[in-house]
Amino acid sequence: MVEIKNGFIGTVGNTPLIRLNSFSDETGCEILGKAEFLNPGGSVKDRAALYIIEDAERKGLLKPGGTVVEGTAGNTGIGLAHICNAKGYKCLIIIPETQSPEKIELLRTLGAEVRTVPAVPYKDPNNYVKLSGRVASEMENTIWANQFDNLANRNAHYETTGPEIWQQTEGKVDVWVAATGTGGTYAGTAMFLKEKNPELKCIVADPMGSGLYSYVKTGESQPEGRSITEGIGNSRITANMQGVPIDDAIQIDDKECVRVVYQLLEKDGLFMGGSVGINVGAAYALAKQLGSGHTIVTVLCDGGSRYQSKLFNRDWLVEQGLLSP
């Protein structure tokens, strides 16, 4: 029987696990990607956006005709804009001007008010996250989504993503590995899977320029280098990442990220965004370390069309030193 979903909101979640054939065959492991790009808003952030808004509704913080304000690198804002449309709210997004023009224009197409701001570190009072909180505090009938420190974010994945992975693998999963930005996807999924099987390894994947790898390894956040990836990496431990199981961390540089993204496209037929390159690159590296016979699950966060002007622009990659002329 074909199931009929109840609008946009009823379509969020229950995404399939995809066997990444080329990487699995190379390593002898089952490398599986949670196909979050198949969410109706096109990314894993649909889950967090839905839980954040419905949590605010339950608490009486967001009333009819209200506004949702968020500082976001793009995908959470896109999810929020879709859900605000579906529920009759207004949406105001503050986004670093360094993010891809595709995401910024999509937000405007969806009807969100978009304010682009200079990209500055979190310690700066004009950082896009802090600025969005101040803007929200000055408005009536408004919530600040606060995805980095709002635990509704990780609860979305504790209640949905983790259980889905457990059911889809019939409990036969050895490693959960994912990059983190807000930490919600990694954290909620790790918390659920670790409860089901304490022997399962939960590993943070991290791009260059982020301090999470050094934090896991040394206890101190010491970012080094830079990355072209968007929406992942952090120099601080968000509320969503506090008290979360982390067995290890693995760092993936941009060259490996780009190689992985293009292998996914050319050998697996999957047109993916940059964070997927970090995630699958980490899963691939772990598979080689562990040896054959393991099942490793990661996230296919979003599709490549949101990065067409950068990640899939060969002239741009040459400029970044990531592709030979």
pLDDT beyond 90 at 3: no
Q: Which domains does the chain have, with CATH numbers?
A: 7-38+161-319 (3.40.50.1100), 45-144 (3.40.50.1100)
**Would you place residue 160 in the very low, low, confident or very high pLDDT band (cuts 50, 70, 90)?**
very high
pLDDT at 324: 85
**In this prediction, what percent of the chain has a pLDDT beyond 90?**
95
pLDDT beyond 80 at 121: yes
CB 93 within 8 A of CB 116: no
pLDDT beyond 80 at 2: no
The CA-based diameter of the chain, rounded to the nearest angstrom, is 56
Average pLDDT over residues 97-112: 94
**Would you place residue 120 in the very low, low, confident or very high pLDDT band (cuts 50, 70, 90)?**
very high
pLDDT at 325: 83
Average pLDDT over residues 145-160: 98
Q: Convert the pLDDT of each residue in 236-284 to its tens digit.
A: 999 999 999 999 999 999 999 999 999 999 999 999 999 999 999 999 9
**Would you place residue 51 in the very low, low, confident or very high pLDDT band (cuts 50, 70, 90)?**
very high
Point out which residues pair with 205 in neighbouring strands.
Answer: 179, 250
CB 170 within 8 A of CB 216: no
CB 29 within 8 A of CB 58: no
Check if 201 is active-site: no
- Can you give the three-state secondary structure of the chain, one letter per residue? CCCCCCHHHHCCCCCCEEECHHHHHHHCCEEEEECHHHCCCCECHHHHHHHHHHHHHHCCCCCCCCEEEEECCCHHHHHHHHHHHHHCCEEEEEEECCCCHHHHHHHHHCCCEEEEECCCCCCCCCCHHHHHHHHHHCCCCEEECCCCCCCHHHHHHHHHHHHHHHHHCCCCCCEEEEECCCCHHHHHHHHHHHHHCCCCEEEEEEECCCCHHHHHHHCCCCCCCCCCCCCCCCCCCCHHHCCCCCCEEEEECHHHHHHHHHHHHHHHCCCECHHHHHHHHHHHHHHHHHCCCCEEEEECCEEHHHHCCCCCCHHHHHHCCCCCC
pLDDT beyond 90 at 74: no
Report residue 83 as tokens. 């859900």
Separation of alpha carbons 47 and 152, rounded Å = 10
pLDDT at 1: 62
Q: Is the pTM of this model over 0.85?
A: yes
Determine the distance from the C-alpha atom of residue 111 to the mean position of all C-alpha atoms in its chain, rounded to a whole number.
Answer: 22
Average pLDDT over residues 296-321: 95
Q: Convert the pLDDT of each residue in 166-216 to its tens digit.
A: 999 999 999 999 999 999 999 999 999 999 999 999 999 999 999 999 999
pLDDT beyond 80 at 294: yes
Q: Which of 34, 45, 103, 201 is catalytic?
A: 45
Average pLDDT over residues 140-165: 97
